[in-house]
C-alpha cells in the first residue's frame, strides 16, 4: 500500500523545519524534510515538512505545543 504524505509545515529557514522534524521524530512521528531551495540562489524556495496521513493530527498538535512553548 502506498503511503500518503501531507505537508504540515514549510519555511524559508531550514533550521526551523529541521527543529520541527526533530521534535516529531523524538515523539515517534515519522517525518520527511524536502528541500525545495533553488540550488543556484539559496534565497529562493522553502524547506517543507511532510508526515504520513495517519499522523497528521498528532504532528500538528506537537507543533502547536512547540509554538506555545517558545512564545
What pLDDT digit, counting tens, does each position of 17-44 carry?
999 999 999 999 999 999 987 767 667 8
What does the pLDDT read at residue 49?
97
What does the pLDDT read at residue 23?
94
As given in the structure block, the three cell numbers for residue 52 are 504520513
Fold of 5-70: Alpha-Beta Plaits (3.30.70)
Mean pLDDT within 1-19: 89
Residue 7 has pLDDT above 90, yes or no: yes
> At 28, is the secondary structure helix, strand, or coil?
coil
Please report which confidence band the pLDDT of residue 71 belongs to, taking 50, 70 and 90 as the band edges: low
CA nearest 3: which of 58, 64, 51, 44?
A: 51
Domain ranges of the chain: 5-70
Amino acid at each position: 500500500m502506498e503511503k500518503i504524505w501531507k505537508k504540515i509545515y514549510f519555511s524559508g529557514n531550514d533550521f526551523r523545519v529541521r527543529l520541527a522534524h526533530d521534535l516529531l521524530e523524538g515523539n515517534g512521528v515519522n517525518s520527511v524534510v524536502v528541500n525545495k531551495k533553488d540550488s543556484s540562489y539559496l534565497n529562493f524556495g522553502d524547506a517543507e515538512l511532510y508526515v504520513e496521513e495517519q499522523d497528521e493530527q498528532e504532528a500538528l498538535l506537537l507543533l502547536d505545543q512547540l509554538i506555545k512553548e517558545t512564545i
